[in-house]
């Protein structure tokens, strides 16, 4: 049986119900898309094999890459050339050894030690945002006031982006990731972000400062276009994912009051809770896990031939009972560091230490300072991003 793909998510706390059926069926399931069939990886072990394996490419330039399967008509030479030019510097779409050149340059900016240095600044930003919420009364819309605002402030400081411009890239990022089915709107928004960053990098090249962009410029290892592309990736990825995780994590914890009380009593449990939230919610799912086989190989007992596209279903792998006991239960003390929410292998998320720090500080401080925090509408009335490539809430009205 061939599965229709993608499958819409309908519950804030669970992946599509079809994922469990697919996992039981096989570790690899065939899916039908307008431009052809692809493989869906449903289980945890096979997900790690694909994400870290040899004979697998992440590059859209590799024949058979699954992103092209979403289109019944393939792009012509001019469109392909434009897309190739736009993607300069997007190192997540590069295979080793070219991918390694970018990663080696950027890793020092995201080490555990470097993030530890950033933590006091993140704490100040979190406190300022909560101060603003308190000053405006006894209620707020948490997505806008906190979830979106904090990652915007952090990434602006990290990259040296003027904060007065945050509303511009925040709105464009939201539009770029609003709906998988509106590719024209997404492309326009991304082009506007890249044009803005092109200007920002040009100014930074003329007068480098002591921020991430300035340090990369001083290294002399990237071209102007590559630096624009790197900045684009860091800005969009560093903002959109964490902005969606924070409000959804707040909702999840409020729905598990016993576990939340335990975290309030023992704040040392927050790092484990953050990893469990990442596993349990799996908001990125398959979007960042697009691969193609570049040689014939066996995956989960299935022969995958050269040129066949693959999507790893991260939200399914993170609910695999072969890897996690009681996978559909939220357990803040689970210690689920073996999840694949950040990917696995050479392309594992570069900013994962920063994301963990932001979530930990944001959630701990929010529940410490607003002990009476509660959502003011039933779960079924909360607007969720059903067709967005990165899952989340569009609003979370709260009071305290």
271-294, pLDDT tens digit by residue?
999 999 999 999 999 988 999 999
Helix pair angle (183-206, 224-254), 10° resolution: 120
Domain residues for the domain of 139 are: 3-399
Amino acid 176: pLDDT = 72
Partner residues linked to 39 by β-bridges = 30, 310
pLDDT exceeds 70 at position 345: yes
Separation between Cα atoms, residue 162 and residue 11, nearest integer Å: 37
- Geometric angle at alpha carbon 149, from 145 and 150, rounded to 5°: 120
74 — pLDDT class (breaks 50, 70, 90): confident
Question: Running DSSP on this structure, what letter comes out for residue 336?
Answer: -
Amino acid 212: pLDDT = 93
Please give the backbone phi and psi of residue 299, each rounded to the nearest 5 degrees, phi first: -130, 120
pTM of the model: 0.94
pLDDT exceeds 70 at position 181: no
pLDDT for 389-399, tens place per residue? 889 999 999 99
Sign of torsion over alpha carbons 243, 186, 225, 167:
negative
Encoding tokens for residue 34? Answer: 């307008």
| Interstrand relation of 36-41 and 309-312 (parallel, antiparallel or unpaired) | parallel
Taking residues 5-30, what's their average pLDDT?
94
Amino acid 178: pLDDT = 67
Average pLDDT over the chain reads 92
Encoding tokens for residue 117? Answer: 């240095």
pLDDT exceeds 90 at position 184: no
225 — pLDDT class (breaks 50, 70, 90): very high
| Closest alpha carbon to 398 in 200, 130, 167 | 130
Q: Which of 65-69, 147-151, 183-187, 349-353 has the lowest mean pLDDT?
A: 183-187
pLDDT exceeds 70 at position 180: no
Separation between Cα atoms, residue 243 and residue 391, nearest integer Å: 10
Taking residues 50-71, what's their average pLDDT?
92
Encoding tokens for residue 288? Answer: 């960042």
- For the chain, give the longest Cα–Cα distance: 61
Q: How far apart are the first and last CA of the chain?
A: 50
Separation between Cα atoms, residue 255 and residue 208, nearest integer Å: 47
Looking up residue 211, the CATH number of its domain turns out to be 1.10.630.10
Encoding tokens for residue 146? Answer: 């906190």
Encoding tokens for residue 319? Answer: 């609910």
Mean pLDDT: which of 5-14, 79-88, 365-374 is highest?
365-374
Taking residues 214-228, what's their average pLDDT?
95
pLDDT for 87-105, tens place per residue? 899 999 999 999 999 999 9
| Closest alpha carbon to 309 in 25, 7, 30, 74 | 30
Separation between Cα atoms, residue 62 and residue 30, nearest integer Å: 20
169 — pLDDT class (breaks 50, 70, 90): confident
Q: Which of 23-37, 230-244, 322-336, 357-371 has the lowest mean pLDDT?
A: 230-244
Question: In sequence order, which residues have a C-beta less than 8 Å from that of residue 316 and are 6 or more positions away?
Answer: 15, 19, 20, 22, 23, 41, 42, 43
Amino acid 2: pLDDT = 72
Mean pLDDT: which of 172-176, 193-197, 257-261 is highest?
257-261
Separation between Cα atoms, residue 105 and residue 16, nearest integer Å: 38
Sign of torsion over alpha carbons 273, 279, 285, 288:
positive
DSSP line for 64-107? T-GGGGG-SS---HHHHHHHHHHTTT-GGG--TTHHHHHHHHHG
Alpha helices in 256-385 (DSSP H): 257-265, 270-281, 314-317, 352-369
Question: In sequence order, which residues have a C-beta less than 8 Å from that of residue 317 and are 6 or more positions away?
Answer: 41, 42, 43, 44, 46, 47, 48, 323, 340
Separation between Cα atoms, residue 385 and residue 387, nearest integer Å: 6
Helix (H) or strand (E) holding 38, with range, is strand 36-41
**Tally of domains in the chain:** 1
Taking residues 342-349, what's their average pLDDT?
94
Q: Please name the residue that has the structure tokens 């340059």.
A: 105
Residue 157 vs residues 262, 306, 355: alpha-carbon distances, Å: 33, 43, 15
Question: In sequence order, which residues have a C-beta less than 8 Å from that of residue 169 and are 6 or more positions away?
Answer: 152, 161, 193, 196, 235, 239
Amino acid 397: pLDDT = 98
Amino acid 332: pLDDT = 97
Question: Running DSSP on this structure, what letter comes out for residue 37?
Answer: E
- Give Rg (Cα) of the chain: 21
pLDDT for 300-340, tens place per residue? 999 999 999 999 999 999 999 999 999 999 999 998 889 99
Separation between Cα atoms, residue 175 and residue 389, nearest integer Å: 11
Amino acid 179: pLDDT = 64
Q: How many other C-beta atoms lie within 10 A of the C-beta of residue 102?
A: 22
């Amino acid at each position: 049986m061939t599965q229709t793909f993608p499958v819409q998510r309908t519950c804030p706390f669970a992946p599509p119900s079809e994922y469990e059926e697919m996992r039981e069926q096989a570790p690899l399931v065939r899916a039908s898309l307008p431009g052809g069939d692809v493989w869906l990886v449903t289980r945890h072990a096979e997900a790690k094999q694909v994400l870290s394996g040899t004979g697998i490419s992440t590059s859209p330039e590799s024949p058979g890459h699954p992103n092209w399967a979403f289109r019944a008509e393939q792009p012509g030479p001019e469109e392909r050339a434009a897309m190739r030019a736009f993607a300069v510097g997007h190192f997540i779409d590069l295979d080793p050894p070219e991918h390694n050149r970018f990663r080696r340059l950027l890793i020092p900016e995201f080490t555990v030690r470097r993030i530890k240095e950033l933590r006091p600044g993140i704490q100040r930003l979190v406190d300022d945002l909560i101060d603003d919420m308190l000053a405006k009364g006894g209620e707020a819309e948490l997505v806008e006031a906190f979830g979106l605002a904090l990652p915007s402030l952090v990434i602006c400081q990290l990259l040296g982006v003027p904060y007065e411009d945050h509303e511009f890239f925040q709105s464009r990022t939201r539009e770029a990731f609003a709906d998988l089915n509106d590719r024209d709107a997404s492309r326009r928004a991304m082009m506007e972000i890249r044009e803005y960053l092109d200007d920002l990098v040009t100014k930074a090249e003329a007068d480098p400062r002591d921020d991430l962009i300035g340090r990369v410029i001083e290294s002399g290892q990237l071209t102007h276009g590559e630096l624009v592309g790197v900045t684009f990736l860091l800005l969009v990825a560093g903002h959109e994912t964490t902005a969606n995780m924070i409000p959804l994590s707040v909702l999840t914890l409020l729905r598990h009051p016993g576990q939340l009380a335990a975290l309030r009593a023992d704040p040392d449990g927050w790092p484990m809770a953050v990893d469990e939230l990442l596993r349990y919610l799996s908001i990125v799912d398959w979007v960042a896990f697009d691969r193609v086989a570049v040689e014939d190989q066996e995956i989960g007992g299935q022969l995958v031939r050269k040129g066949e596209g693959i999507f790893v279903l991260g939200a399914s792998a993170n609910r695999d009972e072969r890897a996690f006991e009681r996978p559909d239960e939220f357990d803040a003390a689970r210690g689920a560091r073996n999840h694949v929410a950040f990917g696995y292998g050479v392309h594992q998320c570069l900013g994962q230490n920063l994301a963990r720090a932001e979530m930990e500080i944001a959630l701990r401080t929010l529940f410490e300072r607003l002990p009476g925090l509660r959502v003011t509408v039933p779960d079924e009335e909360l607007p969720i991003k059903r067709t967005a490539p990165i899952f989340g809430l569009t609003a979370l009205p709260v009071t305290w």
